[in-house]
A = this chain, B = another copy of it.
Amino acid sequence: MVSRVELSDFTPALDVFLGQSAYLQLALFESLGRAAAIAPSTRAKALTGVVATSTLERHRGLLAEIERQSGDAADLMQPHTGLIDDFQRRTGNGDWYESMLASYVAAGLLNDVFSRLASGLPGDSRERVVAALETDATSDETSIVAELSLAISADPQLASRLALWGRRLVGDTLLVARAAISASHESADDERLEPVFTELIAAHTRRMDTLGLTA
């Protein structure tokens, strides 16, 4: 990205950031477990396992940082369960293709938000957290895109179904992104955040484009 609106002004306290991002990765893993169980082929199931492994590696990296700060993971995650569980309920019931699109589009957007918020964390935690959040992100995206593109090119109906699903996902995902940004002490007013959301939606549009889908 050429010009990134700085999100470090909105970085919440370290333990809020860690609880929220750790719970998000745990929730994304749950969805992937469900997706693996309904995968249309052993190859699709194997891909789901690979993406879930990276998701849990991110979770583990965040847990390690919580331990380093002498925090209790369950206590820190607890305040964020309501919003993220609700997100899961609204977006977690698709078939395998829809689940993998969610993993690409929603997890992609939220990982981007958390990586950018992380730039405002205290120096000694920042690097470890950013490294944890970036675990295998690029290779997973490449694998998901390859598998979904293959399926989309073989089935035009799937293409239009996934385009619709992507539009629904982005709205629900932006709600979670907004909550993550508003968790800071800094008042996160709409005007200051406008350019951030414009960038996030542009990145979403590029992700859908990569699949040949209209955002």
Contact = CB atoms under 8 A, between A and B. Distances in A.
Interface stretch (A37-45, A126-134, A158-166, A193-201): A37-45
A57 B50 CA distance: 10
A29 B52 contact: yes
A50 to B, nearest CB: 8
A207 interface: no
Contacts of A57: 53
A41 B81 CA distance: 10
A37 B33 CA distance: 9
A56 B59 contact: no
Nearest to A76: B42
Contacts of A45: 26, 74
A49 interface: yes
Interface residues of A, number: 29
Contact of A60 (B33, B34, B53, B73): B53
Given A42-B77, A42-B81, A49-B29, A37 B34 contact: yes
Interface string A63-84: 1000000000110011001000
A113 interface: no
Contacts of A30: 33, 36-37
Nearest to A53: B56
Interface in A144-199: none
Nearest to A60: B53
A81 B50 CA distance: 17
Chain A to chain B: the 6 pairs with minimum beta-carbon distance, closest first: A33-B33, A43-B74, A53-B56, A42-B74, A30-B37, A30-B36
Given A33-B52, A53-B56, 6 more contacts: A29-B36, A42-B78, A42-B81, A43-B74, A46-B63, A56-B56
